[in-house]
Each structure stands twice: as C-alpha cells, then as structure tokens.
Amino acid sequence: MTGPLEDVKILDLTEYITGPYATKMFADYGADVLKVERPRGDPARQLGPFPDDTPHPERSGTFFYFNTNKRSIVLDLGHPRGREVLGSLVDRADLVVESFRPGALDQLGVGWDWIRERRADLPLVSISNFGQDGPYRDYKGSELVLFGFGGEMYTMGLPDRAPVKMYGTAALVQSGAAASVAMMAAMMAGREQGIGQHVDFSIFDSQMGSADRRHANLVAWEYAGKRVLRSGALTAGMAHGAHRCVDGWVEFTAAGQRRDRLSNMLGNPDWFEDPKWKAPAAAFDPALVDEFNDRFSAWLATRTKREVFAQAREAKVLCGPLFTVRELFEDEHFRERSFWETVEHAELGTFEMPGRPFVMSASPWELRRPAPLLGEHTREVLGEAGWNNARVEELVVENVVYEAKS
Amino acid sequence: MAELPLEGVRVLDLCLVWAGPFATMLLGDLGAEVIKVENPFVFQPMTRGMRARPRKESLLMAPPPGGAWPDGEPGGRPWNYNPVFVQLYRNKKSFTVDLRRPEGMEILARLVAESDAVIENNATGTLERLGITYDWLRGENEKIVMVRLPAYGSTGPYAEARALGVHLESVMGHTLLRGYEDLDPSTLTSIFSGDYLSGALGAFAVMMGVWHCRRTGEGQLVEIGQAEAASSMFAQAFMDYSLNGRVQTTRGNRSVHDVAPYGVYPCQSPGTAETGEDRWIAITITSDAQWQALCEEMGQPDWATASELETQEGRLARQDFLDERLSAWTVNFEDYELFHRLQAAGIPAAPVLEASRVYEDPHVAERGLFAPQTLFDGIGPYTFTAPFFRFPETPVKVRQAPVAFGEHNEYVYKEVIGVSDQEYDRLREAGHIAVEYDRSVP
C-alpha cells in the first residue's frame, strides 16, 4: 500500500509552483506522477535556495520541495516525433494536467482536441494565470501580481504604507491545493462516469473566488457598500497582538475572551482581582489597556516564548509564539509527531524537510523517492509505455527524449 | 446532462469559522451533498456571527465585513445574513439537532449511517465531549471517512492548545517571514493565510478517503494538523534552512527568488487608504527581457538604461533605488491604464485591487465569477461569488444560495433518515428541529 491513489497515473506537464504542488499532493499520496520536462527542465530548477547560493539545476530547494515522489521524463514536444511519444503516455494516464500558456498545447498539436480524439474518457486539467479565455487570457502572472489582483492583499498592511504580501509563493501554493481538488474531481468524473473534459483552472479565479476574506469583503460590499480597509495590527485590547518577551515575540488574542483564563495564565495576581478589570468593556478601555499592558510587559520580560506559550496553553488562552524556522526544526511538538522527514539525494546529500501534509490512518503518506533528476526515469517510463530498448535508443539519438547524464 | 463530479457523495459538516467550511464549500460546489449539523441550543461563535442575539447597535458598530447587513438591517435572524457565514455556505444544506441529548446523538447516528464522510475543525476535545469520535462513527458506519482539522494535531505537547489562524501563522514562522522590513512584527499580525490551504487540503482528503473506500470498502480517519499543512506555503524558507542553515527574515514585497524590481508601486488615487481609495500596482520583473520592455515603456530614461541595471545581479543590488524611481513614474498613471499597457508589453503587472472594484472588472464578468443569489427569505438578489472551478461537461455552479439555519430540516429528517411525520412533530416539540436559536441562547 503506497497511499489512497496507488491505482492512479497522472501525466504531469506542469511547471513552476502551482501545478507541481497540485501534482505533488497526488504523488505524495501514492499516485504514479510522470513529470514531463522540456529539455532544459522545469524552470523551477533555476529557483533558489541552492546550497551555498550556487545555482545548479539539480540542486534547487524549490524544485526539490515541490517534486518529491515523482518520476521525470524529458521530452521535446516541439520535435516532430514528440507527439508520438506523448501519445503513448496519454494512453496509460488517468488524467493529464498542464500549465503552459493558454493555446500552447494546441499549437504543438497535442491540445484538448487531440487528447479527446485519443481518449474520450480522459480529463485534461489546464492550470493558467488567468484562465483559458477572457480578456486577460494572455496576461502574465506572478505570486505578487496574482495575489495583489485576485487575493485580499489590499487590506494587508498599514494604512500609510503600501499593501504587503504573504511570504514567498504562498498564494501560488494555496491555488495549487485548490487545483489538486479540481484534478481529483475531474478524475472521479472520468473514472466513475466515463466523462472526459477540459477543466479550466485559473489561479486568478481561485484567488478571487476563494473564501479567504475576499469573499466576506465582497458580501459586505454587496449588503451595505462598506469597504474593508488596511488596519494593521489588532492591538487595541488587553493582551492582544504581538508582545515582546525575553527571546522574541508572542501573539495573543485575549481581549474579549474569558478574563478568568487570562488571570489563570498570569497566576491569578491580586491586582487583577480589582473589580475594575471585571467590567464588561474593561478589555478595550484605553486607560485600562495601558495599565494592564505595563504589568503584562513586566510578566513577559521574565519569560521565554516557550514558557509563555506553555502557561497560555495550560490556561487555554489564545496564544502563539513567533517562531523562526530554526526554532520550528528544533521544536519538540513537531519532533514528537515525526513531522520532519530525512531525505537523501544524489546531488543535495542528506537533509531534513517538512514531511507528510496530513495523516491518513488506512492509506499512509510515504516519501518513496526524492525529487527526480532531470530525465532520471526517461528510459524506465518509456519501457513501461511499450518502447523497447532499440526504439528508445533511436529517440535519444534523434533528440526526441533525453536521459539524465550519468 | 452528466452528473456532477461528486454526485452521490454525502458529507456531514461539523465545521465552524473558516477553514472547515471552506473545505465543504469546495465539496458542495463539486456536487457533494453537504449537510451542516446545527444545534438550536448552542451558538458557534465566529461562524454565524459573534452571538445569536446581539444588540442591533453593536452589530452595526462592528467594522466590515462583520458589521454589514442587508440594507443595514440585521433583522430577527441575523445568523442567516452574517457575511463570514454567507460567503462560505452556498451549495450546502442545514439541519438542526441537539447533540447534547442522547436522542440527538441517535439522530446523528442515523445520519452517519447514510453518509460517506464527516469533516470537522473544532477545538480539540469539543467533539469528544459530545461523544463523537472516529470509533463512535465507525460503529455507526464502518465505511465512514472522518477528516479532522485540528490546529496542531491530536498528539504532541501542543495538542490541546487553542488557536486561531493568527496564532498558527506565528507558530509556523509566517509572522516573522512577512511584513515590512523596517518595522517590528507587532505592526502586522492580522494576516490569516492558512484557512485557504487547510480548507482545500480538507476537501482533497475527503475525496481521497472516498476514492479509497470505493476501491477497498475501508473507511479511515484523516488528521490534518493545520500548522503542519501550512508549512508548504513557506517551503523556500524551510529548504533554505535545510540546505544552508539560514534563517530567513521578511523581504516585504520583494521576491524570494531573487528577481528585481518586484514590488507594489503607487498610482493616481481618487482618495486615501482611510476610505479605501488609494491605488497601487504590482510590477514584477522576472527576466532581463522584461526589464528592457519596462525601460521602453518608461521612455528609456537615463537612470534606467544604465548598464549596471541590465542584469538581475545589478538590479538586485539596487532595489531601493529602483523602487524609488519606479514609484515616481507609476504615480502618474491610473492603475488599470498602466496594467493593460505593461501587460501588452509582456510585463507581469496588475492593480492591487480593493475588493469592491472586482465588480467592475471585465475579465471577472466574462469568466462568470459571480452569480445572483437570493437568500432563503427572499432577501436579495445579491451578486455573490460563484464556484471558481470550470468543468464544461459537469457544470459546477450555484445550486443553492447561502443556507439558512434549519432550512433542510424536513428533507434531512424525513427523506434521508426516514422519520415519520409523527416523530418529526415530536422532535420539533422537543426542540431538536428549529429555524431559530432557542430563546435561552444569548
């Protein structure tokens, strides 16, 4: 048993972040994901971080993270024989997924019409920046552009500053998770109802239509014409927002929550028994908030993040320490849950990375293989698709397919 | 017409607030029958509003989105209009039962027997106190798939920790990885990025569980620790630590992949941020060719054509300078005008859009990202968002407007679990079946 999707074959023509994250979810849960790369490889192989900051196509941390458990075959779709090879892979797939610019597959002669003619029950999922039609079909995207335009970036930040984005490629990963849902639905309709179809997944649509605050803000506008503004930090209350402690910061959401829990966390000090703290609006009274926060700062000044968090947990107060990535790797909770996975890779050596996205009791996650080297499985995959050694040799010589340099 | 992709899959929604309901929204959009289980005696804070019966003045005082109501009127059943609820509950059904009583649990047991999956994201221990565990569910239906979305998971030192999205952000490193480079993290703590990811993965897990069950006859328990799931959004930071031992800190709006310029720049604005009328454009130059194209659009000014800016290395070393000069140029344009012009030149750029302006965007209109929806009691129609999946042969659309409390009581009791008219009346008398919260609920 290698996961709930062990009987699934995905033909993966996606690149960069969103598509590869969606297919990583399939690969991680057991599907056989064949990653078809262009001769120079997925452009994500050019993205850092690299060891010692030295770029190398087999040493990209970004590529590695998003391509575990997949196999790589290098195929030149622009070659006259590329279509013949792709066809042999299409015949064995349960789903094809691609992320070229809209229309590119058609130009190569391997678009939806060609696939449908070959296999009426085979779904094709196209992942693109703005979708397969509409006025912005050919517009270019990036994390910042798609999140700024589609997602709820406008309200993130301070009113006197520019809006500020999430980390790295967080929005592209969110959309990748939604794309995996679309793929799963397309595959179920394909396998169980025999329906092939060309599913159009737009990263912009999936940001704009996601229920991550933008929805709620649109509802508010529809009801009452009220705009949601950039308001910065939520600090107007007792033990609310990020506060300094000995070794960093801790985040609290205590104002408006139960006072007795906050009191328990602080060790039920006498000063906090004064009736003035028990008034209904005390937690938001500016003078009282200042007085409270002075005492709170003194309490925090003798405690570390982990000590504060432990006392907050004990008292059921909403709290989270601001951890660095190093602190996370060292954290006992995630160690105890065996969250980290040790991987070995021909070029990157042995290291630890975040492991299973989630735990399934009957069909577990498994790191079966590291991210593939470019063309590492070309020969193996072609063999499975019925190409004998002599014919594979021919394809290699003609530069239709490429193998990993050994 | 073909069936929807998830036609015939029944999912019980024991969710609250944001992440879980997003998961069931995606499942409902794709054709699953999602039934939200509600209790007339227990109000779920932050799901259908802060309280069942708040004073009208306090409802109207709350900032949007919470403080927005149809025509400014919360009405007698404000829980049916709350924006945070409404945005997440299209394509779902709602029925009520008091799970604190044994006979309520019997009703739930009968429904579990008729369902494929149960999904929940309650604080650790909440369902256990009601007696709802995976073992109990499996006793009622051995094929059931249970998907849980705890904050930190059911084991380990943080298992019992209470958390909202903002705390998960902090624990998983995001609060230190984003925000303004020149300000401390206390200035920006209100970003909740994890609900989207956890919700989408929750939907994916339900579908995989059903897929597995249809092949093997085996149900299972899925645990999605939201903290762990969130890690994929910070992949580059984790890999940089793994490969280089480096602890990344925020770069503001700049690229984690070392390309420049990459940022948000001011445009002509009809007003200020105080009224939501300041305007910005995101411009991201990912190649030297795009930089040349941008120089051309700017009219080849001397500062931009300098040879040291021709390469990524050169531009990365001068990001402050580039941002300053670009801002001085972009501020002369309307955001949409510049957006189309830069995109026509092959440059990834777009306005940072204030939500209400989405309604005027021609692409959004043509893509059908909105659909008119009339609420249960005839209020509306409003133009709310529609499913963002496009499945031409199995059309994914709004089949049910955001659901009212108890809207499907008759259907669930009589058609799904087959109670008699007589028993239905008795259960209504006993308070299980209602379209309002009990008067005892504040």
Can you tell me the mean pLDDT for A66-75? 98
Pairing of strands A95-98, A124-128: parallel
Residues A176 and A99 in one domain: yes
- B174: chain A residues, CB-CB within 8 Å: 166-167, 170
The pLDDT of residue A210: 84
Give B385-440 pLDDT, tens digit per residue: 999 999 999 999 999 999 999 999 999 999 999 999 999 999 999 999 999 999 99
Q: Can you list the domains of chain B with their CATH numbers?
A: 10-224+369-429 (3.40.50.10540), 262-357 (3.30.1540.10)
Helix axes B335-344, B288-297, angle to 10 degrees: 130
Please indicate whether, in this complex, the C-beta atoms of B391 and A359 are within 8 angstroms of each other: no
- Bridge partners, residue A38, by sequence: none
Task: Give residue A406's pLDDT.
Answer: 60
Per residue in A16-40, pLDDT (tens digit) is 999 999 999 999 999 999 999 999 9
Cα separation of B318 and B332, whole Å? 22
Of B110-119, B372-381, B426-435, give the lowest mean pLDDT range: B372-381
Higher pLDDT, A366 or A308: A308
Asked which of A329, A358, A385 is the last residue of a domain, the reply is: A329
pLDDT of residue A234: 59
CB contact (8 A) between residue B355 and residue A234: no
Find out whether B154 and B124 touch, Cβ atoms under 8 Å. Answer: yes
Any idea what the CATH number is for the domain that residue A124 is in? 3.40.50.10540
Measured at the CA of B380, the angle between CA B376 and CA B383, to 5 degrees, comes to 110
Q: Give the residue ranges of DSSP H helices in B31-173.
A: 56-61, 83-86, 102-113, 126-130, 134-140, 165-171
Query: Residue B22 and residue A210: Cβ atoms within 8 Å?
Result: yes
For A1, A377, A387, B108, B178, the CA distances from A372, given in Å and listed in that order, are 21, 8, 21, 47, 31
**What is the DSSP-derived secondary structure letter of residue B300?**
-
pLDDT value for A1: 60
A85-108, pLDDT tens digit by residue?
A: 999 999 999 999 999 999 999 999
Chain B residues with beta carbon closer than 8 angstroms to that of A361: 134, 220-222
DSSP for B324-352?
A: HHHHHHHTTS-HHHHHHHHHHTT--EEE-
Domain that holds residue A278: 240-329
Average pLDDT value for chain A = 95
User: A178 with A32, same domain?
Assistant: yes
User: For residue B207, which residues of chain A lie inside 8 Å, CB to CB?
Assistant: 181, 184-185, 188
Question: For residue B297, is pLDDT > 70?
Answer: yes
Interchain pair A64, B239: CB under 8 A: yes
Tally of domains in chain A: 2
- A246 in any annotated domain: yes
Q: Is residue A100 part of a domain?
A: yes
Q: Are A302 and A158 in a shared domain?
A: no
Using the predicted structure, report yes or no on whether residue B442 has a pLDDT greater than 70: yes
From the list A355, A64, A212, A144, the residue with the least C-alpha distance to B169 is A212
Find all residues with CB under 8 Å of B347, minimum gap 6, and list them: A140, B283, B285, B290, B293, B294, B297
A246 vs A404 pLDDT, higher one: A246
The confidence score (pLDDT) of residue A257 equals: 84
- Residue A339: inside a domain: no
- Of A329, A364, A386, the last residue of a domain is A329
pLDDT digits (tens, 9 = 90+) for A118-148: 999 999 999 999 999 999 999 999 999 999 9
Residues A153 and A285 occupy one common structural domain: no
Q: What residues are paired with A33 via a beta bridge?
A: A10
Please check whether residue A282 lies inside any domain of the structure: yes
Same domain? For A175 and A312 the reply is no
Q: Which of A59, A68, A167 to mutate against chain B (most B CBs within 10 Å)?
A: A167
Q: Is the pLDDT of residue B273 over 60?
A: yes
Question: Which residue, chain included where needed, has tokens 């040879």?
Answer: B307
Per-residue pLDDT, A318: 94
State the pLDDT confidence band at A254, using cuts at 50, 70 and 90. confident
Is the separation of the CB atoms in B147 and B224 below 8 Å?
A: yes
Residue A183 structure tokens:
């793929």
**Confidence label for A280 from pLDDT (cuts 50, 70 and 90):** confident
* A161 and A275 housed in the same domain: no
Q: Are residues A177 and A248 in the same domain?
A: no
Distance of CA A285 to the CA centre of its chain: 40
pLDDT tens per residue across span B58-107: 777 777 887 888 988 888 899 999 998 999 999 999 999 999 999 999 99
Residue B118, SS3 per DSSP = strand
* Six-digit token string for B147: 């998907």
At residue A128, φ and ψ (nearest 5 deg) are -145, 170
Residues B274 and A95 sit within 8 Å (Cβ to Cβ)? no
Classify residue A2 by burial, with Cβ atoms within 10 Å: 0-12, 13-18, 19+: middle
Q: Which residues of B touch A358 (CB under 8 A)?
A: 201, 205, 222-225, 228-229
Position A179 pLDDT exceeds 60: yes
Residue A350 within any structural domain of the chain = no
Tens-place pLDDT, residues B347-362? 999 999 999 999 999 9
> With contacts defined as CB-CB under 8 Å, which chain A residues touch B80?
none
Asked if the structure places residue A308 within a domain, the reply is yes
For the record, the structure tokens of A279 come out as 């008034």
Quick one: A131 and A192 in the same domain? yes
Rounded Cα distance, B237 and B64, in Å: 34
Residue A109 confidence (pLDDT):
96
A393 and A293 within one domain: no
**Residue A200 sits in the same domain as residue A131:** yes
Quick one: A205 and A245 in the same domain?
Answer: no
Average of per-residue pLDDT across A193-214? 93
According to DSSP, residue B390 is labeled: B
Nearest residue to B232 (alpha-carbon basis) of A161, A20, A73: A20
CATH number of the structural domain spanning residue A310: 3.30.1540.10
Tell me the pLDDT of chain B averaged across its residues.
Answer: 95
Domain-located, residue A357 = no
| Nearest C-alpha neighbor of B50 from the set B21, B78, B25 | B78
| Residue A283 domain-assigned (yes or no) | yes
Choose the closest CB to A197 out of B185, B284, B394: B394
Q: Of A271, A306, A329, which one is at a domain's C-terminal end? A: A329
Question: Could you tell me if A269 and A154 lie in one domain?
Answer: no
